[in-house]
Amino acid sequence: MNENTKKHLRDFIRDKISTDLTEGINDFIVTRFPPEPNGYLHIGHAKSICLNFGVAEEFGGRCNLRFDDTNPTKEEQIYIDSIIKDVNWLGYDSESNIHYTSDYFEQLYEWATFLVNKKLAYVDDLTPEEIRNYRGTLTKPGTESPFRNRSAEENADLLERMRAGEFKDGEKSLRAKIDMASPNINLRDPVLYRILSKAHPRTGDTWKIYPMYDFAHGQSDAIEDVTHSLCTLEFEDHRPLYEWFLENLPVLSKPRQYEFSRLNLSHTVLSKRKLIKLVEDNFVLGWDDPRMPTIAGMRRRGVPPTAIKDFIERIGVTKSDGIVEMSYLDNTIREHLNQTSLRRMAVLDPLKVIIDNFPEDLEDKLEAINNPNDESAGTREISFSREIYIERSDFLEDPPNKYFRLAPGKEVRLRYAYLVTCTKVIKDSNGKILEVHCLYDPESRGGNAPDGRKVKGTIHWVSAQYSNKANVNLYKNLFNSEMPDTGEDWLDNINQDSLEVRENCYIEKCLTNSTAGETVQFERLGYFCLDSSSEINNIVFNRTVSLRDTWTKKTSKVN
In order, the DSSP letters of 428-467 are -TTS-EEEEEEEE-GGGTTS--TT------EE--EESSSE
Cα 97 from Cα 491, distance rounded (Å): 39
| Alpha carbon 382 to chain centroid, angstroms | 35
Cα 312 from Cα 347, distance rounded (Å): 34
Name the 3-class secondary structure at 222: helix
**CA dihedral of residues 396, 399, 404, 409 (deg, nearest 10):** 80
What counts of helices (H) and strands (E) characterise the chain? 12, 25
Q: Going along 241-363, which residue ranges are E strands? A: 256-260, 342-344, 346-347, 350-355
Type of residue numbered 189: D
Cα 172 from Cα 116, distance rounded (Å): 15
* Cβ(533)–Cβ(540) below 8 Å: yes
Measured N-to-C along each axis, helices 326-340 and 305-315 cross at an angle, to the nearest 10 degrees, of 130
Beta bridge partners of 98: 65
Q: What angle do CA 282, 286, 290 make, to 5 degrees?
A: 115
Type of residue numbered 392: R
Catalytic center residues: 36, 262, 272
